[in-house]
Structures are given as structure tokens and as C-alpha cells.
Chains A and B, each alone.
Chain A
Amino acid sequence: NAGVTQTPKFQVLKTGQSMTLQCAQDMNHEYMSWYRQDPGMGLRLIHYSVGAGITDQGEVPNGYNVSRSTTEDFPLRLLSAAPSQTSVYFCASRESGGVYEQYFGPGTRLTVT
């Protein structure tokens, strides 16, 4: 199993540009989520999904969009990048229906200039 994979590992964007961060998992997990990590703030939930076709907002959803067309993939779209979106982004997945371990991807380090 590859686990949770994310691409790209690094990205630099100019203000106003858009892009998609890719996330895939091969563990057949129903539950997937996106977090951003900023210094001193821990991890904050952006969006999550409990299954294909079902998504919902987390704590900091503004400026981001998600969709879930398959169980495996959960891309995160930045609609119009802003410097405040400079962060490290983590995708995670886990089984649903109870309390299970989350598996995290290696992260995408995004800089918006």
C-alpha cells in the first residue's frame, strides 16, 4: 500500500493564480480530509468528505473548494491564491463510523507571493 499520497510536494504561486492539490489513498477509506498547518496553530481542518459525492466544510474553508468523485481521490482547489494561504497542506484518510487512526500524506508546502 502506498497509503496517502500528495502532489506536488512544493509549489509557488502568484497572488490570484489557481491550482489543485492532489490527494489519493489506496486503503479504501471512506473518510478523507484536508488540513493546513501554520506555525503555532497546529492543524486546522479545511474540508472533509465522508464518502464519494459528499463533502463538507471544516474550520477554515474560505478560498478552497473540494470534490469527491471517487473513493480514492480528494483534490483541493485554491480558487484565487492569496498570501494568507501560504502554508503546509496535509491530506488524511481514515475508516468512518467510529474512532480510527488517521493516516496522513507527506504534505504540500505552498508559497503564495
Chain B
Amino acid sequence: AQSVTQLDSHVSVSEGTPVLLRCNYSSSYSPSLFWYVQHPNKGLQLLLKYTSAATLVKGINGFEAEFKKSETSFHLTKPSAHMSDAAEYFCVVSDRWGSGGGADGLTFGKGTHLIIQP
């Protein structure tokens, strides 16, 4: 079985300061991990994904995440927040073969709402 926990339901940072959104996972197999972003009244868009290649993954809009097997974590970071980063962020885990977890092989975290203060 697999699961994913987003440790913060809300994160508030000032514009220009670093962003850290935390995600811990559990998986019986070698997992693949994703971060998605959802802007207000929009669908989900892929930010980045880890699929057993480099453990430091770079995504769009300056975001990156590091896969740490020993800590079972996949935290999302950005060096400097921008107002346009205000959105909901979802961490998603899938086992290597796209099975297990949810019926479609994916398990979604409950989301972290990122607030950017001017």
C-alpha cells in the first residue's frame, strides 16, 4: 500500500522569500512522485516529477524537489516566491509500475495552500 502526507495544509510566505512545501510518502515499491499546482478555478498542472533518475528534480517556474529515500520525503522548494505562485499544491505518489495505491495507481495528498504576502 502507498500513502502520501502533505504536512501543512496552509503555508504563508512573503514575496521574495523561500518556499518549502513538505511531502512524506510511503510505498512498497520504488515510487514515482509528482508535484502538481492548481491555480484558482483551474485544473491541475504538472510542476515536476521524479521517476528514479536524478534525485534532485527541477520543474517549471523555478520549483525543484529532492527525493530522499532515507527520509521518505519529496519536499518542494523555490528560492524566491512570486505573487503568481499563490495556488494549491498537490503531492502525488505512484509505484513504479503504475499500480497499487488508488485504483488507478495514484495517491494524492490533500493539498497545501500557498499564500504569498506582498
Contacts and interface: CB of A to CB of B under 8 A. Distances in A.
A99 B96 contact: yes
Contacts of B98: 96-100
A12 B34 CA distance: 33
Interface of B: 9, 32, 34, 36, 41-46, 49, 51, 90, 94, 96-98, 102-106, 108-111
Nearest to A95: B98
Contacts of B32: 99
Contacts of B9: 40
Nearest to A4: B43
Contact of B102 (A31, A58, A90, A98): A58
How would you classify the secondary structure of chain B's contact residues: helix, strand, loop or mixed?
loop
A17 interface: no
B110 A104 contact: no
Interface of A: 4, 31, 33, 40-45, 48, 56-59, 90, 92, 96-102, 104-107, 109
Contact of A45 (B97, B104, B109, B110): B104
B104 A104 contact: no
13 contacts: A40-B9, A40-B110, A42-B111, A44-B108, A45-B106, A56-B103, A58-B102, A99-B51, A99-B94, A100-B98, A101-B34, A102-B44, A102-B106
Contact of A107 (B36, B42, B51, B105): B42
Contacts of A104: 36, 43-45
A97 B94 CA distance: 13
Given A40-B111, A99-B105, 4 more contacts: A42-B90, A101-B49, A102-B46, A106-B43
A32 to B, nearest CB: 10
Contacts of A92: 44
Contacts of B43: 4, 90, 104-107
Contacts of B45: 104
A40 B106 CA distance: 18
B47 to A, nearest CB: 10
A22 B40 CA distance: 21
